[in-house]
Structure 1
């Protein structure tokens, strides 16, 4: 007799490490290709655009909040076996990633090295992913952390992170669109409007950070493993978004100030200066036939007509 797609019940199954998220890898490759192509063609573009393709890439990262803890914890349900492991929590805009790595990796006759992802975006059901983890028999520490983010958990963390993540993602997409518009404007003789759009881009990036940080306004459930507590803090994607948002503000203000106080310098930087001097120089150039000059056949002045000959 078999259950669960050919897996024999009541027998221990070998735990497997979760593979990397294929969709995230595809997004990273696409935006890296876009960046490399943009850097190759930018020398031939009249006007210099501000390249920030990772504005959209941070949508798919999972380290907006991160936390680690080392603890002695039970490894399986209905078992008294204890293991020493590092437990990590990585919160993104569309879900959480929970990591479990043993110290050492090989304990209780198994390889303790897990990386499980639970999504809560529009096309994914977090509770369904959690129930699948229960059926697969994931280790107790992973299920304990994942249970904190389920919809029926009294912590109410699922609703807080899901709503704030959706609003942060939406404002980031708007910032990406305004960045594209600013790049187009920087290729035209309307540089000041490109600066304004950079300011709008920075504003929407800051709005996304404010939206995500609203989860800190509500009480958070403690994630404890015995006496050890897993504390989470803002991760690399959060701080990277903040830095890029501030850079957009600085670049936008610089463009606007130069437009009103030193427009020639601004046009020179973007290679949009007026080439009137060059045009005048080209117009005054005269073609001289050297063969005619050497033979003495050329006239320095046009011939004058004799009125009597008419």
Structure 2
């Protein structure tokens, strides 16, 4: 039994196809099939039911795949140990970031991070929280940045910063004249929300107390981007809430529509996520240091109340 054979098994289990798995592993399909067959012969069992289309795991195959994930991850840790011993911070690093954080945070830290750690090859994807959790568990991401806490046993969280919610309230709205707003002022009926799948949307709904007695049909408008919400709000379609970092690049006219909350300000917790197997920790810690250092100068709020990103 070899780690390579287990790696091939994981590839077939994920792709449910020998040809696709071979392409992902950069080997020929006969080579991959032969190695898996050798492993099955050695164990005297079938890992895959090849009669099914797409290919399925057998009952014992599912148990083997679960154990193979642990073994392959632990094999990667040996390289981690060597890298840490040598003080090497480099190699490929796959990072996922949720859509409501990507456009504001990434431009703030990316240039500084690349300059400080030129040997790291970053691969960054914009993903939903659900996809991030799935990919971290499958080993397809090394880390991610998302709103927390997520209460996922297999995922560890390192808090980067707390980002307050800010009201965006256009002229002629009932709350526009108020200097500061409170959660009691919010009415879900005139609130513009992000569409389903965004954890920031769930945070806003959790903040709006009136939602408890409202049906989903009470939403007037939903959108896929915060920029669209701002434009709709400017057209008099309702108010919305923005993450604080999104307010920094608004033009002066739009900034006149910003209304901060009474303290403690409702806020989201933004964290660096990684699998409990703790691979590539030297890169994760390097990223945490760079982001924390940069964000310290951007967010001055101290007295905040964390709003859960999980739907109630």
Normalised by the size of structure 2, how large is the TM-score? Answer: 0.28
Structure with more contact order per residue of length (Cα contacts < 8 Å, sep ≥ 6): 2
- Higher helix share goes to which structure? 1
- Higher strand share goes to which structure? 2
